[in-house]
Structure 1
Amino acid sequence: MVGTMVKNRALSNVISIIILIFVILLVFIPFLYYLNNISQNNTVKTSIVNNYVYLKNLQISQVTTGHPSLYYNGSSIYAVYSNGTFVPPSNLTIVSILYLNTNGIWLNLTSIKYPLVISKGQVISLPSYIQGRPIIIVTSLGNIFFLQSGSSIGPFATASRGGVEILTQIYTSSGPSSVSTNVTTNIYGTYKNFTTPIAFSNQTGTFVTRLPQYVFYQNSKGQIITGVFHNWIVLGLATVNSTSSQGIQVTLRGQPVVLIGNYTQITSTVGLTLQVKGDSNIYVSIFVNGNSYTIQNEQTITVPAGYVNITVITLQANDTTQQSQGVISHYSYSNAGYNGKTYVAKSFLIFVPPGATNPTVYLNYLNDYNYYLVKIIGNYSETQYGQVCLILNGTVYNYNNTNPYWIIGGNYSFDPTGIFTGSSTYGAQTVIFQYSNRTSFTYTFPNIPSYVIINQPMNITVKYAVTEYWQQLQ
């Protein structure tokens, strides 16, 4: 009996140990799984953070080495891909551009549609109220690039002897304004023309570049701002033989260089004469640099020297000085002439140099046709036969109208209508053309004319009667 009890107690202990082990495994295995998941999540989060930091730093490296470089001239942001060898290539995504207002507060520029993805060289034009203000560019990776007017971040690659960007600006009382113009350079070996802003990456050696004496831009009011060349501004290390001449020789010294052609605004004025040619009696409306003028014969106005924007508003005009004699002369704009050059378009640009003597713009108008007063007289019995009319080139004119008709001079088909009553035709029996120069022509049926020449004021008289009788056959 004792032996049996010992055996049962030993068996119970074994079973208890087995149950305990099972319970421990049941609790510990999920716990190990939980610990493993926590470790994996921390690893993923660490990888994400590390990857973000890597991309953020990579973007800074790309911009500072010219992929793309950023240059701010006070009115525009120039993004230039000057380092084609950067690996890997990537876009620059801008999510916000801030500017410092006059109250010292940073405000977001809302006129640009965000996100702005830059994948190739481009110019980001800024509103006029931002000109010259400091700006901050915020990217999708959280990088912040601060730029003041005339500053840049990595304008060109540092490989070889660097690169060069040529910009042009007009400096006015409110600060610099970017402007495009022609630049001639032999940076590629032979002289070629380019349009500013222009970037040349990884160029070596010495080259020559030349700008025109005058440049201009047109503001939102239609006014033309003209600049005369003042000097070159060199940003970066380069040797130039001059900064005060339009054409200079440049030698790069292994670093990126920005060359800015700086122009000053012309503020002197000149007297410009506008003269209407063709007829001194018509009034012509014209816009000059956004200002409206109405001219008869000629008028001298004061304009800023330099480029002048002219738009002809009056393309057609009537001379009514002889209206009482029955003639209105019609004129159409033909062309304009200035300094030996003809301008056919209604809008054109001329250059009036400072100190010009008696500059004159000729506005040429041609008398293409005239209106003549024509009185159309009908002699007929409306109560007996009904109403008839006169048709000239398909247009119906009523007889004995209270006011005579103004008709454009020319040759017209002539058709005095008639009435068929069933037994007779009632139509034009006599036609008289009586002109203002006292000449007169009379025609009788059946020789009624099929056309009439209107080349002066005149009376057209049509006398009606029965022209044909009809008799029914028995």
Structure 2
Amino acid sequence: MVKSKALSNVISVIILIFVILLVFIPFLYYLNNTSQSNTVTSSIVNNYVYLKNLQISQVTTGHPSLYYNGSSIYAVYSNRTFVPPSNLTIVGILYLNTNGIWVNVTSINYPLVVSKGQVISLPSYIQGRPIIIVTSLGNVFFLEPGSSIGLFATASKGGVEVLTQIYISSKPLSVSTNVTTNIYGTYKNFATPIAFSNQSGTFVARLPQYVFYQSSKGQIITGVFHNWIVLGMAQVNSTISQGIKVTLEGQPLVLIGNYSLLTSNVSLNLQVNSDNNINSNIAIEVSVNGVNYNLQGTSTITVPAGYVNITIFTLQANDTTQQSNGIIRHYMYSYSIYNGNVYRGTSFLIFVPPGSSNPTVYLNYKNDYNYYKVYMKDYNYLNNQVCLILNSTVYNYNNSYWIIGGSYTFNLNGTYSYNGQMVIFHSAQMVIFKYSNGTSFTYTFPNIPSYVIINQPMNITVSYNIIENWEQL
């Protein structure tokens, strides 16, 4: 009996051990897998953070640099320290619309892989708007027009990029102007933004004192030179003079000509002239820096000093001051004059320096033809049975008409009428041309002229003869 009980205890222990092993081994396996999973997850997270930070480092050091000029994104590999070249995968480009909402640019095929220098053109409706570039690693790069991330230079080894901007309301406005430089040996003018290939030694770059920015509505902002912003390694003699002397040090270099807003105002005269610079009485409409004005004679308006944009809206106009005397003068826009310069287009840009004394823009119109009031009289008052024809245009008698001055074919219309008993024919027998200057000409049949000259207000009087023919009923 004791033997049997001892055997039973041994079997119980064996079963217990078996149960413990059956449960504990999977648990150990679970703990091991959990540990490995946490290690893998931690490794993935650490690797992602590393790649994300590496991408930021690469872009900010020029691999690639990103420059946004307001209409296109320039991706330029200006730093050769990363081998092999690294790709930048763009999964979204957003722009800030007029309602203050960030909207994705759907016209671009994403993902966009940048592996070499290239230009990413943006739709025209984005022009001048801030943008955000989103990469596959979750980095977000914000760019204002005229701004860049990293050293921007199109040369493979160093190089120089010259940009110009007006700094206003804590944001730059990218503008284009001329930069004069001897970087290629002789002094030449180039339009900014401009990139020069890798150079060694020293060169000079000079910018104008004033630049301008024009909005889509025609508004002009004038900038006055403030300073140079130097991005990169180079020696410069000054950053506050328009002309700068630069010595390169074998590194990519960006030179930004920084302009501040010109805020002073000037009084500008706008004078509407007719032929021979005689002040005219015509009324016209013009736009000055996007603001519309109705002008007659001489008007004085206040505008910001600097560049002024003028657009002529009224290309034809009538002077009606002599209308009561039978004359309306027609004028056609010809040209404008400012500061001795002639502008023949209907839209032009002038420069009015701060402190200008009595600046005047002359808007010249040419009197190309006149309307004259012509009264046509049927001496016999035949109740519109007859009419007068000038150049194929029919005029009824006993009415006044405004007719453009010139020479006209003259045709007198005769007509038949039937009153039930006889046929009546009306035929012109006498014509009188009486002009407003007092001269008068009388013609009788058959010497009535085939043309008439209308060069002033006048009366045309026609007398008809009536010929009666009886017919048997």
Query: Structure 2 matches for 1:114-193, cutoff 5 A?
Result: 114-115=108-109, 120-121=118-119, 131=130, 136-139=132-135, 141-142=136-137, 144-147=139-142, 150-153=147-150, 155-156=152-153, 160=157, 162-193=158-189
Ranges in structure 1 where 5+ consecutive residues have no aligned partner: 1-48, 470-474
Q: Deviations over 1:15-43 (max 9, x none)?
A: xxxxxxxxxxxxxxxxxxxxxxxxxxxxx
Q: Is the 8 A contact 2:66 2:76 kept in 1?
A: no
In the other structure, the counterpart of 1:113 is: 107
The alpha carbon displacement at 1:127 in A equals 5.4
2:258 partner amino acid: N
In structure 2, C-alpha distance between the alignment counterparts of 1:157 and 1:374, rounded to whole Å: 73
Say whether residues 1:400 and 2:398 are aligned partners. Answer: yes
Query: Structure 2 matches for 1:58-457, cutoff 5 A?
Result: 68-72=64-68, 78-81=73-76, 94-98=90-94, 108-110=102-104, 113-115=107-109, 120-121=118-119, 131=130, 136-139=132-135, 141-142=136-137, 144-147=139-142, 150-153=147-150, 155-156=152-153, 160=157, 162-278=158-274, 279-380=279-380, 382=382, 387-401=385-399, 404-419=400-415, 426-457=426-457
In structure 2, C-alpha distance between the alignment counterparts of 1:126 and 1:421, rounded to whole Å: 70
Residues 359/260 of structure 1: CA separation in 2 closer, same or farther (3 Å cut)? same
The alpha carbon displacement at 1:165 in A equals 1.2
In structure 2, C-alpha distance between the alignment counterparts of 1:129 and 1:203, rounded to whole Å: 32
In structure 2, C-alpha distance between the alignment counterparts of 1:89 and 1:389, rounded to whole Å: 90
TM-score, normalised to structure 1, is 0.74
1:271 partner amino acid: S
2:394 partner amino acid: V
**Secondary structure of the structure 2 residue equivalent to 1:204:** coil
Residues 88/201 of structure 1: CA separation in 2 closer, same or farther (3 Å cut)? farther
The alpha carbon displacement at 1:337 in A equals 0.5
2:108 partner amino acid: Y
In structure 2, C-alpha distance between the alignment counterparts of 1:467 and 1:197, rounded to whole Å: 87
1:351 partner amino acid: F
The alpha carbon displacement at 1:420 in A equals 5.9
The alpha carbon displacement at 1:195 in A equals 1.6
Q: Is the 8 A contact 1:242 1:249 kept in 2?
A: yes
1:286 partner amino acid: V
TM-score, normalised to structure 2, is 0.75
Q: Is the 8 A contact 1:428 1:467 kept in 2?
A: no
The alpha carbon displacement at 1:109 in A equals 3.2
In structure 2, C-alpha distance between the alignment counterparts of 1:157 and 1:350, rounded to whole Å: 34
Q: Is the 8 A contact 1:136 1:144 kept in 2?
A: no
**Secondary structure of the structure 1 residue equivalent to 2:448:** coil
In structure 2, C-alpha distance between the alignment counterparts of 1:248 and 1:359, rounded to whole Å: 33
In structure 2, C-alpha distance between the alignment counterparts of 1:121 and 1:378, rounded to whole Å: 78
**Secondary structure of the structure 1 residue equivalent to 2:250:** coil
Q: Is the 8 A contact 2:95 2:104 kept in 1?
A: no
Q: Which is worse superposed, 219-228 or 117-126?
A: 117-126
In structure 2, C-alpha distance between the alignment counterparts of 1:273 and 1:145, rounded to whole Å: 51
Query: What is the percentage of aligned positions where both structures have the same residue?
Result: 64
**Secondary structure of the structure 2 residue equivalent to 1:256:** strand
Cα RMSD over matched residues? 3.8
In structure 1, C-alpha distance between the alignment counterparts of 2:217 and 2:449, rounded to whole Å: 59
Q: Is the 8 A contact 1:76 1:178 kept in 2?
A: no
In structure 2, C-alpha distance between the alignment counterparts of 1:370 and 1:390, rounded to whole Å: 21
Q: Is the 8 A contact 1:282 1:319 kept in 2?
A: yes
Q: Is the 8 A contact 1:76 1:126 kept in 2?
A: no
Ranges in structure 2 where 5+ consecutive residues have no aligned partner: 1-43
2:465 partner amino acid: A
**Secondary structure of the structure 2 residue equivalent to 1:253:** strand
The alpha carbon displacement at 1:225 in A equals 0.2
Residues 269/370 of structure 1: CA separation in 2 closer, same or farther (3 Å cut)? same
Q: Is the 8 A contact 1:334 1:364 kept in 2?
A: yes
In structure 2, C-alpha distance between the alignment counterparts of 1:257 and 1:146, rounded to whole Å: 21
In structure 2, C-alpha distance between the alignment counterparts of 1:80 and 1:467, rounded to whole Å: 94
Q: Deviations over 1:343-388 (max 9, x none)?
A: 11111110000011110001111222111111111234747xx722
